[in-house]
Amino acid sequence: MTLLERRQIQRVVDMALDEDAPFGDLTSQTLVPVTAVARADLVAREPGVLAGADVFEIAMTTLDPSVEVTRHAADGDAFERGAVLAHVEGPARAVLQAERVALNLVQRMTGIATLTRAYVEAVAGTGARVVDTRKTTPGLRALERHAVRCGGGHNHRYSLSDAVMAKDNHLAVIPDLTAALRQAKADLPHTTHIEVEVDRLDQLDAVLAAEAAGTIMLDNFSLDDLRAGVARIGGQALVEASGGITLDTIGDVAATGVDVISVGALTHSVRALDLGLDITVS
């Protein structure tokens, strides 16, 4: 499902815990007995699709490894309101200090997975692939992209280092696009993917003439122009649709015959899902 590794999670968790309590949790250290034990359930306040089970557990156990987390759901599982997704038990001070960081991360990731699942279901049966973009929260890209996969979506290039992707601002400073693409294909390893974004149908000829692009992105095209673009490309490259895609429009976009639909909203403006940690202390 993912290439997300523990070291990536741990780096984010350590940073977040340090940000939240740079000199310790003054409230818990002052008011909560050192011997107190907390028992807590991670409870869904609304239905959704889980993402971030590993992240939640690592956040809850980093401060004190004696804290135990029992999972009742796995990443990618759908759940209803009231579902208990995990149980936590351990020293109360550690549980209380980690609570907000653990919730912030799992709520955001689960919100992304839930929204992604809705987009994926909206294109079911069309063959179109729903993918994310680089419009992620700085520092959280690995977690957010994992969440997209938990929802059934796919990932675009991970970073600027992964593929050649000529966008509108690149094209604005390239005097001869066909020649530039041919040269790129000649210079790059055969394993390097080349994608070119166009925002008008009349730009397609220059891209196709180079015979270099593995993917052509049709950005902010009307449905009629998407259909025309798919026909003009004619299988010479994968066709990606992008720009202002919503749940209301993605089904119609998929029906034009595009191969990939990229949706920035999966990560850049998603709402965190409402999950709560119900704690009792003894």
Residue 1, in any domain of the structure: no
Annotated binding residue 149: no
**Same domain, residue pair 91 and 196:** no
CA distance 127 to 85: 32
Average pLDDT over every residue of 121-128? 97
pLDDT at 114 over 60: yes
What range defines the domain where residue 249 resides? 125-268
**Same domain, residue pair 49 and 77:** yes
Where are the extended beta strands (E) located within the chain?
Answer: 37-44, 48-49, 68-71, 78-79, 84-91, 129-131, 164-166, 194-198, 215-219, 238-242, 260-262, 275-281
pLDDT at 9 over 80: yes
Sequence-distant (6+) residues with CB within 8 A of 158 are 141, 145
**Same domain, residue pair 107 and 134:** no
Annotated binding residue 100: yes
> What's the whole-number average pLDDT of the chain?
96
Q: What is the pLDDT of residue 282?
A: 84
Q: How many domains would you assign to the chain?
A: 2
Catalytic site residues?
100, 135, 167, 197, 219
| Tens-place pLDDT, residues 39-58 | 999 999 999 999 999 999 99
Annotated binding residue 242: yes
**Same domain, residue pair 149 and 22:** no
Nearest Cα neighbor of 16 from 60, 82, 65, 48 is: 60
Annotated binding residue 141: no
The burial class, CB within 10 Å (0-12 / 13-18 / 19+), for 227 is middle
Q: What is the pLDDT of residue 164?
A: 96
**Same domain, residue pair 110 and 215:** no
**Same domain, residue pair 258 and 135:** yes
CA distance 161 to 178: 22
Q: Percent of the chain scored above 90 by pLDDT?
A: 96
| Tens-place pLDDT, residues 240-279 | 999 999 999 999 999 999 999 999 999 999 999 999 999 9
pLDDT at 170 over 60: yes
